[in-house]
C-alpha cells in the first residue's frame, strides 16, 4: 500500500472497474465510487458487471446507468471490487493487471496489487482508505461509498462495527453523502416480487438441531410464479436467521442445474463450511453454488457438515 497503486493507475490509458457477479450494494457502491473518482481524475474508465440484472433500487447512485454487462476495453487495467476470487468476476481476465480491492477473509489475492483487509466492514471502506491518499473525495463518491457501508453493515449492526467505522461514516457525510436519501432508497423501494418470494420461501421454513438451525428452500416454480430475480431473494436468509433460537440459517435456491446456498450465522464462523462446498465469503455471511437439483440431499449434507 504505497504509491504503487497510483503509479499503476497512471501507467494505464484505460481502466475497467468490475465487481462480483450478482452484485450487492457494497459491490455496486464501491465500484461506482471508484468510477467517479477516476473519471474526475481524467481517466478513461468503464464500469462492468457480468450479471445482466442489477439491483434496481440502487439506480439512485450516481452513474448507475453506466454499468454495462460487456467490456469494451481490451488492454485496460482491471480494478476488482468486493470480490474474493477471480471466477466470481465472470470475465476472462487472464494476462491482465488487476488491482484487487476487497474485505473478504476468503480472498485468494488474485491481483497484481492486493488491497484486502478482512477486518474492515465494507469494500468501500478499503477503497476509501486507499484512494483518499491520491484522489479527492466528492459528494458522488461519498454517496456510493456510504451506501456500500450501510448495506454491508446492515445499518451499523454487524460484528465489525467499531468507533473508527463511525468516523469513516461521518467523513462520508461531511463529503456530501445524504443518510436519509440512502436509507430511503435501500429500505422503501422494495419490489413486489421480493415480498412475494419471501412469503413463499418462509412457508418452507424448517427448524433443525433443537431449533438452532433454520432452512428455507426456493424452487423454480416459486421463482417463475413471482417473477423474482436473484437480488429479490438476498435478504430471505437473514429473516430466517433473525429467529430467537436460531444460530445458523440456510437458504437453498434452485437455479437451473445448480443450487445456490446462502449461509448466515449470529456468531459461528461458517467460512470453512462454505469453502468445503467450493464457495466463500465472510465468517457470518457466506455461500456457495452446488451442482445438484436435490435440495433435500444437499440440505442433509450441509447439516452434517455443520455438526462436525
Residues that bind Mn ion (CB under 5 A): 26, 82, 123, 152
Q: Residue 103 — left, alpha, or beta (φ > 0 → left; ψ -120 to 50 → alpha)?
A: alpha
Q: Hey, which bits of the chain come out as E strands?
A: 14-19, 44-48, 77-81, 98-102, 113-116, 206-208, 213-218, 248-255, 258-265, 280-281, 285-290
Q: Can you state the angle between helices 25-40 and 139-152, rounded to 10 degrees? A: 160
Comparing every residue's Cβ against Mn ion, the nearest one is: 26
Nearer to Mn ion by Cβ, of 46 and 82: the residue is 82
Nearer to Mn ion by Cβ, of 105 and 219: the residue is 105
Nearer to Mn ion by Cβ, of 76 and 265: the residue is 265
User: What cell was used for 86?
Assistant: 477471480
Nearer to Mn ion by Cβ, of 19 and 36: the residue is 19
Residue 224's SS3 state is helix
At closest approach, how far in Å is the CB of 85 from Mn ion?
14
Q: Which residues are 286's β-sheet partners? A: 263, 281
At closest approach, how far in Å is the CB of 82 from Mn ion?
4
At closest approach, how far in Å is the CB of 23 from Mn ion?
10
Residue 51's SS3 state is coil
Query: Which DSSP letter does residue 208 get?
Result: E
Nearer to Mn ion by Cβ, of 27 and 254: the residue is 27
At closest approach, how far in Å is the CB of 149 from Mn ion?
9
> How far is the C-alpha of 222 from the C-alpha of 19, rounded, in Å?
28
Amino acid at each position: 500500500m504505497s504509491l504503487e497503486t497510483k503509479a499503476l493507475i497512471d501507467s494505464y490509458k484505460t481502466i475497467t472497474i468490475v465487481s462480483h457477479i450478482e452484485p450487492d450494494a457494497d459491490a455496486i457502491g464501491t465500484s461506482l465510487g471508484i468510477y467517479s473518482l477516476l473519471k474526475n481524475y481524467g481517466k478513461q474508465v468503464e464500469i462492468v458487471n457480468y450479471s445482466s440484472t442489477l439491483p434496481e433500487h440502487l439506480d439512485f447512485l450516481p452513474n448507475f446507468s453506466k454499468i454495462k454487462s460487456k467490456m469494451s476495453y481490451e488492454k485496460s487495467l482491471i480494478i476488482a471490487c468486493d470480490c474474493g476470487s477471480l471466477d466470481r468476476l465472470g470475465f476472462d481476465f487472464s494476462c491482465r493487471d488487476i488491482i484487487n480491492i476487497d474485505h473478504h477473509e476468503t480472498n485468494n489475492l488474485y491481483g497484481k496489487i492486493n488491497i484486502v483487509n478482512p477486518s474492515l466492514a465494507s469494500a468501500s471502506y478499503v477503497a476509501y482508505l486507499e484512494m483518499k491518499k491520491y484522489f479527492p473525495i466528492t459528494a458522488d463518491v461519498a454517496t456510493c461509498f456510504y451506501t456500500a457501508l450501510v448495506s454491508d453493515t446492515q445499518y451499523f449492526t454487524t460484528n465489525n462495527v467499531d468507533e473508527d467505522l463511525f468516523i469513516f461514516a461521518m467523513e462520508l457525510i461531511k463529503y456530501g453523502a445524504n443518510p436519509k436519501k440512502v436509507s430511503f432508497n435501500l429500505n422503501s423501494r422494495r419490489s413486489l416480487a421480493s415480498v412475494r418470494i419471501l412469503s413463499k420461501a418462509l412457508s418452507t421454513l424448517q427448524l433443525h438441531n433443537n431449533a438452532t438451525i433454520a432452512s428455507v428452500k426456493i424452487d423454480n416454480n416459486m421463482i417463475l410464479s413471482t417473477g423474482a430475480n436473484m437480488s429479490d431473494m438476498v435478504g430471505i436468509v437473514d429473516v430466517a436467521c433473525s429467529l430467537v433460537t436460531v444460530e445458523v440459517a440456510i437458504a437453498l435456491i434452485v437455479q437451473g442445474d445448480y443450487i445456490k446456498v446462502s449461509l448466515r450465522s449470529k456468531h459461528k464462523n461458517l467460512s470453512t463450511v462454505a469453502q468445503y462446498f467450493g464457495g466463500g465469503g465472510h465468517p457470518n455471511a457466506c455461500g456457495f453454488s452446488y451442482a445438484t437439483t436435490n435440495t433435500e440431499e444437499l440440505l442433509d449434507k450441509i447439516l452434517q457438515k455443520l455438526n462436525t
